Every structure is written in C-alpha cells, then in structure tokens.
Chain A
Amino acid sequence: MTREKTKKGRGSIVITAERCKGCAFCVEFCPTEALKLSEQYNKKGYHPPVLISEEKCNGCNVCGLMCPDFAIYGFVHGKKAS
C-alpha cells in the first residue's frame, strides 16, 4: 500500500453516487461545509454530493450518519470510519 503525505483535511469521504437521491442533508449539515451537490447526474437523475475541498473534511461522518440512502460516509485518515 502506497502512502503519501499530502495537504489534505483530517478526513475524507466515500460517495456511492448511484445510491444518492439528492436530498442534500449531507451538504446542508456538514459542519465544515465541505460538500456541495455536483453538476453531474447519476443514473436516476439526482446530483450526488462532492467534496468542495479536501482540506475542509475533518472525517466527522455526520454526512454518513445523516444520509438516508447509505450513499456517503466519512472517515478520519488512518482510522476506521466511525
């Protein structure tokens, strides 16, 4: 496994775009406002979220807890998602 040191936030997110139904809970309630709805569509016609900037994500996983469709979760680098 390659490791890089990079200028990123404390954590990051994983998005399963095809599951997203565009409710925007994650975007609205992300404590660091790290997300926005993308311009792209998924197959069902929804705009999934994307990270605005990697530095902003602190891996708190509020998005993961909020997401009603299990389409996004956050994790702290070097740790399990919690």
Chain B
Amino acid sequence: MAEELFDVEAAPPGNTVEEFLRMERMPHIWCPGCGIGTTVNCFAHALETSGLDLSRVAVVSGIGCTGRVAGYINLDSFHATHGRAIPFATGLKLANPELKVVVYSGDGDLTAIGGNHFIHACRRNLDLTVILINNFIYGMTGGQVAPTTPQTATASTTPFGNFEQPFNLPYLAESSGAVYVARWTAYHVRHVTKAIKEAIAKKGFSFVEILAPCPTLFSRRNKLGDGLDQMMYFRDHSEIRNDADTKSIGIDFQGKIILGKFVDKERPTYLDAMNEYYRNKLGDRYVPYNG
C-alpha cells in the first residue's frame, strides 16, 4: 500500500479557543493538573459550534476556583458574590431574555452557600444553563469540606475524615425540577462538550455536573496522587448509564461514578409560564413581557 502524503501548511491554524479567552490575563491561576481549564476548553468548543451570537452570551460565576472562570472568558462576564451567581443570573436573564446566561461555578459555591438558590432556580425552571465543576472540595480557600466531599475523605475542616453524607447533585437537580441533568467528568471531554452544547440550547434550567481533579487539595490531602491520577480514576471507574435513576448515583470516596444524561424533558420556562398564565388570567390588559 502506498503511503499517503499530505499537504503541510507553512503556518498552522490558530487555536480557536483563544478567541473565547481574555488572553491578556493568561496564565490563569489554576494549579497544574486542575481540571477547570479542561472544562473551559469544552465550553469554548461548545460555543464555537453553537451558532449563537456571542455578544448575547453572558457568563456568571461565583467565588472559588471555578468562580474565576468568568474572569477568563471573553464574553460579558460577571463575578458575583459567593453562592449568588444563580440569583444574579436570574435578574440578568429576566431583564433581557434574549441573553443566553450561563452560570459557571463550583460545587461549594453553588450547593453550600448557594444551595437555596440552586433548588429554587430548578423549581422555577429559569432559562439558565448551570455548569457546576465538582472537585469535591473548597479549593480556593485551602481545601475545606464541601457538600459534595465523599464520606471518609479528608479535608482541612474534616481532618479526621468526613462523616457527613454528601449531596447527590443530579438527584437534587432532578427532584427540584431541572429539565436537563447530566454528569460527566473532565476526562470525558467530548461528552462534556456535547452536554454543554445541549444544555445551552435547551430551554429551561439545564444542569451539567462535571467532576474535575483538584490535585493540590483534594488529591494531595487524600493521598490520591496528582491531577493525572484523578483523571485516570475518572476514566477507569466511571460507567455511562443514561437511563440511571438519579436517586441511585451518589458517589462514594474513589467509588464508582455513574455518568450520563439523566434528564432531558420539557416544561415551560419561568417567563413562558408567566406570560401564558397572565395572558389567560388577565386578557388584553396584560402587557406581555419579553424584556
């Protein structure tokens, strides 16, 4: 068989992800082996092929390592207070429903201090996309326990191991009313990209949980190696089961991880429900709201 010969460009194409980044702020602050940057690549690629008008996409982050994403993304980006990205995003979206508003924040920010806002936004089916990077720990502040830290794992505020049961986030999201719920890991880059794309396109509250390594704190404290070791754990211990009942997919310490798109259903968004309800109830006097 003859060897195939290929044209070779004198100059290779640029990295398209850079259009989505505030390159003047590179290098970013994330540690070697941290998975957050990996998910940002996926986010950028999802946006690139989404066909969206990027001037109408806004990113809202909270506080924490993942909270720094807003500061690196070259879109209208908002770095809100700790736990409050979702209510900020609520106001932003309701003020201008033409915006695509993506909340991009961490497990501690969104489900501890932000937990109340998370469940209510699910309940209301606000048309938001929430990308939650779950590294099982509070990274930025030095490795404290999070509501997602698996039992027995060590953290700086659970130095003898965590005895609390963690959240099962897809279950929480589904039971609170989210219409799109998926879980992937930073290893599963193509699935993550596809999930983000679907979640952004989906009308209603779309939730994507992405497990990611925190080598400096979670892995180191628990003697799990480095970021690469954690990525290999994600690769080797996960199973894709799109039909899984979210009730059963909690994660034990270094245990099996069930991944997939668990919920993808339809329900009127907050604004659609509001407009429909008031139109029916109030008739012609109602001034429909679209921004």
Contact = CB atoms under 8 A, between A and B. Distances in A.
A65 B38 contact: yes
B260 to A, nearest CB: 19
Interface stretch (B28-36, B55-63, B73-81, B138-146): B28-36
A51 interface: no
A68 B13 contact: no
B227 interface: yes
Contact of B38 (A6, A9, A67, A78): A67
Given A19-B27, A22-B32, A69-B28, A77 B37 contact: no
Interface string A41-71: 0000010000000000000001011111110
B32 A21 contact: yes
A36 to B, nearest CB: 14
Nearest to B15: A73
A23 B15 contact: no
B190 interface: yes
Given A21-B32, A25-B227, A7 B16 contact: no
B187 to A, nearest CB: 7
Given A23-B227, A78-B7, A67 B12 contact: no
A5 B7 contact: yes
Contacts of B26: 19, 70
A80 B16 contact: yes
A50 B108 CA distance: 37
Contacts, number: 112
A77 to B, nearest CB: 5
Interface in A1-33: 1-10, 12, 14, 19, 21-25, 28-29
B18 interface: yes
Nearest to A69: B37
A28 B12 contact: no
B6 A14 contact: no
Interface of B: 3, 5-18, 21, 26-28, 30-38, 40-42, 45, 187, 189-190, 193, 226-228, 231-232, 235
Given A1-B10, A64-B41, 18 more contacts: A2-B10, A4-B7, A4-B8, A5-B6, A7-B3, A22-B32, A23-B32, A23-B228, A68-B33, A69-B30, A70-B18, A70-B37, A75-B12, A77-B6, A77-B8, A79-B13, A80-B13, A81-B16
25 contacts: A2-B10, A3-B7, A5-B8, A10-B6, A19-B27, A21-B33, A23-B226, A23-B228, A24-B228, A62-B189, A66-B41, A67-B37, A68-B33, A68-B35, A68-B36, A68-B37, A70-B37, A73-B17, A75-B12, A75-B13, A77-B7, A78-B6, A79-B13, A80-B13, A81-B15
